[in-house]
Every structure is written in C-alpha cells, then in structure tokens.
Chains A and B, each alone.
Chain A
Amino acid sequence: MAANDISNLPAGEPQPSGTSRGLPWADALTRFLVSIGIKPRWAVIIVPYLWLTLFFLVPFLIVLKISFAYSVIAQPPYTHLDDAGNLNLNVSQSYGRLISDSLYIGSYLNAIRMAAVSTVLCLLLGYPMAYGMARAKPSTRNLLLMLIILPFWTSFLIRVYAWIGLLKNNGVINNVLGFVEDHLHIFSAINSLWLSLGLSDQPLIGALPWQMMNTNFAVYVGILYSYLPFMILPLYANLEKMDLSLLEAAADLGCKPLKAFFVITVRLSIPGIVAGGMLVFIPAVGEYVIPELLGGPNTQMIGRTLYNEFFLNRDWPTASAIAIAILVLLVGPLMIFQRYQDKQMEGAE
C-alpha cells in the first residue's frame, strides 16, 4: 500500500469551535478555497506548476512558433506569423536549410556521435571508480566521495579552461613529454623499432609537440572530464546500496567471482548505468562551451551551431529550428530519464 496522501484528507470546517490550531493566513486561504470549491492543496501545487509552465513549457512553444518565421534585419529579427491575416510560414529557409545544408546535418550527427562516445568513455572510466568507492571502507568511502564532489562544485568553465593550458602545443603535457623525450628518447626508440619491422614507412608516434588543442580529441577529453562526476554519482549510489550477501550466496552456490560480478553486480547496477548515461548523453549533445573552447573549426557540434546561428548570424528562426530538431532527437532519451526518475520514486516508497 502506498504511503497515505495526507493532502487529500477532508478539509474540515476551520471553525472557531474546532480546537485545532493552524496558521491564520493559511486558514483564511483554506476557507476561501473551500468556499469556491477548490481543494486547498492546489494553492501549493499552483505556484511551482505555474512557474514551470510559464518559464519552461511555454518557451518551447514560442521556439516552435519562431522556427516558422522569416529572418529579417529588424528588432526583433524575425517576422510575424500572420501578416494582416495571411499565414506567413517559413519552412524552406529554416527547416529546409537544416536538411539541405550539410553543415547542420553534419553538426547534428557529429554531436550525437561525440556525445555517445563520451558517454561510453565516462562509463568505462566511471564504473570501476564508482565500484572502487562503493566497496571501500566507510571512512575511505566518505573521503573519496568528497574528492569526487569537490570538482563538481568548482566552476565548470574554469575546469574546461584548465585543459587549454594542458593541451596546448606549448602546454603542460607537451612540455612534460618533450622534457622526458629529450632525456630518455623513448619515442624515437619506439619509432625506429616500428620502422625496422617494415610494416609501414610512417613513424608510429608522431613528432612532438602533439596537436591536441582544437581537435576532436580535446573535445572528447573535455566532455569526459566535465561529465565524469555525473556518471560516477548515480553509479556509486546504486552500487553502495547493493546487498553484498547476494555475492556471498552466489559464491556459496559455486559461481566464480568474475561471473558473479557480471551476472549480479552489473545487472543490478543497470538503473545506475542508465541514469548516469542519460545525465551525460543528453546535455552533451547540446554542448557549447567545450567544443567552442577546446574544439577546432571542424568540430561542429549542434549546440555550438545553434549558438553561432543565433548570435553570429542573427538568424533566430534557423536557430529555433535547430533547437526543435535537437528536442525531437532528445525526446526518447528524456523519456528514458523520466522513467528512471519515476522508478526511483517508487523504489524509495
């Protein structure tokens, strides 16, 4: 049986004869609402509901509307949909362009690809970390948790900026590698070995400095770095709650530890994997800052394209159309995320 919904109890007449005490303004409001036939609890529901409807839902409808407008040089830079009674719909110049111009499709697909790959990378690195944290001693566990949360609370922008310094051609990594190479000559040794094998006439390891900034590689690193805590935390929450006696029972029944890990631990952690995956993938698709700061001119991700379309080209209708396209893509993952949230609620009750 679900927990009782105490908001739905009979309101009762807040009469002076009743002995129960309430807050005067709340009682007055309740009296008023009951008198016009509205359940008092709607006074509470309406506030966040109205806010979200007005500032979250309605804006999407406006974006949809403007995606059908024409771009003009004016303030604001779009036309009205009905000009003196005539429907002035623009499909070809916004949505049409999305389809015809390869820039948009390219960014779109690129964003999906990069977000998906980054999600997998986050999982590959994050899962063992979350596992290690969950299985650690309680005192160590808290310390590790604190160490994961600390970057999360530090400015995202600053952390992405930090990678510029690391990845630049004369940045920290290249300098360190250069220093090591100058003294130990590891790379040249490997390269001569590789060439002597005769499999190829190109050296295996490229010459220093490596071009890491303004590449797809940098964007992958950036996304992995920024979103790693978002993958680790739900996974950790899931793994930490796991009943370890399940593994003991499996061992007792003759199951080897590695197999038990996959069949029991991983299976039970699937909700955590899904949660973490959605928390990484969905926002990563629309990322702007990371491709802008770390990516090159050919790392077009759809979020960056939208931003540029909006601010540089001042083409609001096209930008709106891009937004709608992204939303359409994300409906599926959003619903998966919602399902996971609902399951979490039920599970906790």
Chain B
Amino acid sequence: MAAEKQRPQTQHTPWNDPQAQPYIRIEHVTKKFGDFVAVNDVSLNVYRGELFSLLGGSGCGKTTLLRMMAGFEAPTAGKIFIDGVDMADIPPYERPTNMMFQSYALFPHMTVEQNVAFGLKQDGVKAPEIKQRVGDILELVKLTQFAKRKPHQLSGGQRQRVALARSLVKQPKLLLLDEPLGALDKKLREATQFELMNIQDRLGITFIVVTHDQEEAMTLSSRIGVMDAGEIVQIGTPQEIYEYPNNKMVADFIGSVNLFEGQIVEDEADHVLISSAEAGSDIYIDHGISSAPGAKVWVAIRPEKLHISREEPQHQVNSLRGVVKGIAYMGNLSIYLIQLDSGKQIKVTQPNQTRAAEQSIDWEDRVTLTFHPNSPVALLG
C-alpha cells in the first residue's frame, strides 16, 4: 500500500490534470516468453512532450516493454495506444514511432547522410526536401562536417548523435531510446544528457527512455517509471520517487538509503511513532500513514538527511547513537559509516561547507545522529 503524504506542486504536470488525454496508453500489457513472464500486467500513461524514463535493473522487463511499443514484440495480452490508435497488428514499419538502439545500429555501408536520409526515403519524401531536413537535423546534432563519413570513421559519441539524428528526422510521434547513453564515458554522458534534454524540448517530441542508470533517469526525466520483475513499482517525478519512495525496492534502487525495521506504536492523522530496535530509538514522523496499528514498517532515511554531531543527544526520539567506523572524503561531501549501538551500520553524508569543520568528526568518535521529523519515509514493504 502506498503511503499518503503531501505532494509538492510543479508547473506543467499533465499527469495531474484530469482533463489531459494521455498520448501513449499502455493498458494491462503482459508479455510471456514460454513460461517466463517478462512483463506482467503493466499499465501506464505517457503524455505528449514528456521525457519519460523506464528505470530498472537488468531483466526487469523495461526493454521488452519498449520493444512492444516499437512493434518488435507483440503483447501476449493487453493493448498499446499511440495517439488514440490501437497498435495491435501494426508492424514496426507502419508505426509512428522511431527507435534509437543501444548499439546505434548505423548502416555500415552508408554514409552519415544516407543513414539519416534512409527513413525519409522510405516515406517517399522528395529529394530536395530530404536534403533540407537531413541538413537541418545534422546541424542540430552538430555533425554537419561529418555528413560524408561512414560510421566506422566516427567516434562513439559521434555515432550516438547520428543514431539520434536518424531517429528524429522523421519527427515521430514517439521516440523510444534504449539505453541511449550507456556506451559513452562519464564526461561525455553528462554533456550529452543536457543536449538530449535541449533537443527534446526544442522539437517537442515525446521521449520514452529505457535506462538502468538512476542518475541518468533523475537528470533527464519529467517522470520516471520504476520497474522490477516485469511490473511497474512506482511512477512519479524524480523528486517524488526520491523523496517519497513507494516501497523498499524503489527506496533502495534510487540513491542510497538507510532502512530501519520497526513497529508502529502510535498511528494518528498527523503523526506516527515507530519503535525500532535496529535504530535504537523511537522514530517520530510528522505526517500520518495509512496502516494498521502494530504493523511492521520499514523506515527509510536518506544519508544526507541525518545530522552528525559529537554532542550528547538532546531528545528521546529521532536520535541515534553510534561510533564512526569509516570516513570517505569525496571533495564536495564526506561519507561517514556509523555503527549504531544496536549493531546496524548506516551511512551518513554531510556537505563539506567549511574548510575545517568546527567539530571535525574522526574515526572511533562517539556521535549522535539527528533528523527532522519530516525526513523519514515509512514503507510497508
């Protein structure tokens, strides 16, 4: 069951608008390969102009779902609608979708120009128009001077841009991207992420991106759909997913998290009190959750939400005691590994705000960890 809490409002959120019509509708789609269920009863709405990410580990079904939208797999059950049209029995060469493949799939015997023009030729577009549109898109991805090169004469980043250009030039209703940045090195990936977002914004095309990299998903997306074992576990904006994960899997998958097992002691409309032996202290959360009293919960607290200090604890609740067992200095922040009195190990990160912190924490120091009552998230599974 989901925890109900206050959600912050953002600007253009068609998913919150009851009047808005979804551009892509996936209704109860299941895909089985023999006995193996790759996608299990997935339903999902994507709105026009969104950059929607399907996020999950390998084998979670996200690529299969993408391929079903492209038309390379047929759903065992369920329907897919693009702009109101049922895609059943429509082969990939008839669909208003284009795909950017993980391996780029550039035709090795054709130049960059010919690669990009290929889709337009299939549509029967006239030669002058093809030249114009190919020229425009190559300028957009900054590859104009490489137009006559063949793919093997290009670097990895350049090939990726050719693949992008080729899939965009037909101005599809939906662009499907399969791990678009996976083959790039870190620096290139960061630069390309922003480029991708700019292009998408400029052209207004709806993107659905499949990725296993949660940082990428968080950076790029308007919304994220987290998938696990063939099912959609949570859909939300990056902030919603990070701050208000639905369950343990999502909380653990996105970023780092400390999870404490506990039992609900008090469950009111405006607060919850949870006793946790793992934490060694009671946890007070300042909003209500809907559950049964005495129920077992997991409390998730992000490492950056914990405040570390060498002082004695001031309060009875929301105070954890432990010993510093590890310190990692990352430049912009420090990561502390703390062993609580209960024996559990947790992670705390603090930004290095001053050159030499007033009370610098050292190994084997006895510390107190405190947190604001709205920091923890209670999860029921």
Determine direct contact between A and B, CB below 8 Å. yes
Residues of A within 8 A of B (CB): 1, 4, 6, 9-12, 18-21
Which residues in chain B, 45-75, are within 8 Å of chain A measured between CB atoms? 67, 71-74
Interface string of B21-53 (1 = CB under 8 A from A): 000000000000100101000000000000000
Judge whether A19 and B73 touch: CB under 8 Å: no
Give min CB distance, B241 to chain A, whole Å.
28
Instruction: Give every chain B residue within 8 A of A1 (Cβ-Cβ).
Output: 33, 36, 38
- Nearest B residue to A8 via CB reads B74
Is B94 on the interface with A (CB-CB < 8 A)? yes
Judge whether A21 and B91 touch: CB under 8 Å: no
Shortest beta-carbon contacts, A-B, top 4: A20-B93, A12-B91, A21-B122, A10-B89
**Cα–Cα distance between A9 and B121 once the two chains are bound (Å):** 23
Q: A10-B89, A12-B93, A20-B122 are known contacts; what are 14 more A-B pairs with Cβ within 8 Å? A: A9-B71, A9-B74, A9-B91, A9-B92, A10-B74, A11-B91, A12-B89, A12-B90, A18-B94, A19-B122, A20-B91, A20-B93, A21-B121, A21-B122
Is B124 on the interface with A (CB-CB < 8 A)? yes
Is B123 on the interface with A (CB-CB < 8 A)? yes
Interface string of B190-202 (1 = CB under 8 A from A): 0000000000000
**Cα–Cα distance between A20 and B124 once the two chains are bound (Å):** 9
**Cα–Cα distance between A21 and B118 once the two chains are bound (Å):** 11
**Cα–Cα distance between A21 and B91 once the two chains are bound (Å):** 13
**Can you list 22 pairs linking A and B with CB atoms under 8 Å apart?**
A1-B33, A1-B36, A1-B38, A4-B67, A4-B72, A6-B72, A9-B74, A9-B91, A9-B92, A10-B89, A10-B91, A12-B90, A12-B93, A12-B94, A18-B94, A19-B123, A19-B124, A20-B93, A20-B94, A21-B122, A21-B123, A21-B124
Give min CB distance, A7 to chain B, whole Å.
12
- Nearest B residue to A9 via CB reads B91
Instruction: Give every chain A residue within 8 A of B90 (Cβ-Cβ).
Output: 10, 12
Instruction: Give every chain A residue within 8 A of B121 (Cβ-Cβ).
Output: 21
Which residues in chain B, 250-265, are within 8 Å of chain A measured between CB atoms? none
Instruction: Give every chain B residue within 8 A of A12 (Cβ-Cβ).
Output: 89-91, 93-94
Instruction: Give every chain A residue within 8 A of B88 (Cβ-Cβ).
Output: 10
Which residues in chain B, 72-123, are within 8 Å of chain A measured between CB atoms? 72-74, 88-94, 121-123
Which residues in chain B, 198-245, are within 8 Å of chain A measured between CB atoms? none
Most buried by A among B33, B38, B91: B91
**Cα–Cα distance between A20 and B118 once the two chains are bound (Å):** 12
**Cα–Cα distance between A316 and B101 once the two chains are bound (Å):** 60
**Cα–Cα distance between A115 and B93 once the two chains are bound (Å):** 54
**Cα–Cα distance between A19 and B67 once the two chains are bound (Å):** 20
**Cα–Cα distance between A18 and B36 once the two chains are bound (Å):** 34
Instruction: Give every chain A residue within 8 A of B71 (Cβ-Cβ).
Output: 9
**Cα–Cα distance between A52 and B121 once the two chains are bound (Å):** 38
Instruction: Give every chain B residue within 8 A of A6 (Cβ-Cβ).
Output: 72
Judge whether A19 and B94 touch: CB under 8 Å: yes
Instruction: Give every chain B residue within 8 A of A10 (Cβ-Cβ).
Output: 74, 88-91
- Nearest B residue to A6 via CB reads B72
**Cα–Cα distance between A96 and B71 once the two chains are bound (Å):** 62
**Cα–Cα distance between A11 and B92 once the two chains are bound (Å):** 10
Instruction: Give every chain B residue within 8 A of A11 (Cβ-Cβ).
Output: 91
**Cα–Cα distance between A6 and B123 once the two chains are bound (Å):** 21
Instruction: Give every chain B residue within 8 A of A18 (Cβ-Cβ).
Output: 94
Give min CB distance, B339 to chain A, whole Å.
35
Given contacts A20-B122, A21-B123, A21-B124, contact A9 B94 (CB under 8 A): no
Instruction: Give every chain A residue within 8 A of B74 (Cβ-Cβ).
Output: 9-10
Give min CB distance, A23 to chain B, whole Å.
12
- Nearest B residue to A14 via CB reads B94
**Cα–Cα distance between A142 and B121 once the two chains are bound (Å):** 42
**Cα–Cα distance between A4 and B99 once the two chains are bound (Å):** 16
**Cα–Cα distance between A19 and B36 once the two chains are bound (Å):** 35
Give min CB distance, A14 to chain B, whole Å.
9
Instruction: Give every chain B residue within 8 A of A21 (Cβ-Cβ).
Output: 121-124
Give min CB distance, B131 to chain A, whole Å.
18
**Cα–Cα distance between A9 and B71 once the two chains are bound (Å):** 8
- Nearest B residue to A12 via CB reads B91
Instruction: Give every chain A residue within 8 A of B91 (Cβ-Cβ).
Output: 9-12, 20
**Cα–Cα distance between A12 and B88 once the two chains are bound (Å):** 10
- Nearest A residue to B125 via CB reads A19
Instruction: Give every chain A residue within 8 A of B122 (Cβ-Cβ).
Output: 19-21
Give min CB distance, B281 to chain A, whole Å.
48
Give min CB distance, B99 to chain A, whole Å.
13
**Cα–Cα distance between A20 and B92 once the two chains are bound (Å):** 9
Give min CB distance, A41 to chain B, whole Å.
13
Instruction: Give every chain A residue within 8 A of B94 (Cβ-Cβ).
Output: 12, 18-20
**Cα–Cα distance between A19 and B121 once the two chains are bound (Å):** 10
Instruction: Give every chain B residue within 8 A of A4 (Cβ-Cβ).
Output: 67, 72-73
Give min CB distance, B126 to chain A, whole Å.
14
- Nearest B residue to A19 via CB reads B123
**Cα–Cα distance between A325 and B93 once the two chains are bound (Å):** 53
Judge whether B124 and A9 touch: CB under 8 Å: no
Instruction: Give every chain A residue within 8 A of B124 (Cβ-Cβ).
Output: 19, 21
**Cα–Cα distance between A9 and B90 once the two chains are bound (Å):** 9
Most buried by A among B92, B94, B121: B94
**Cα–Cα distance between A58 and B123 once the two chains are bound (Å):** 46
Give min CB distance, B36 to chain A, whole Å.
8
**Cα–Cα distance between A9 and B93 once the two chains are bound (Å):** 11
Instruction: Give every chain A residue within 8 A of B73 (Cβ-Cβ).
Output: 4
**Cα–Cα distance between A12 and B71 once the two chains are bound (Å):** 11
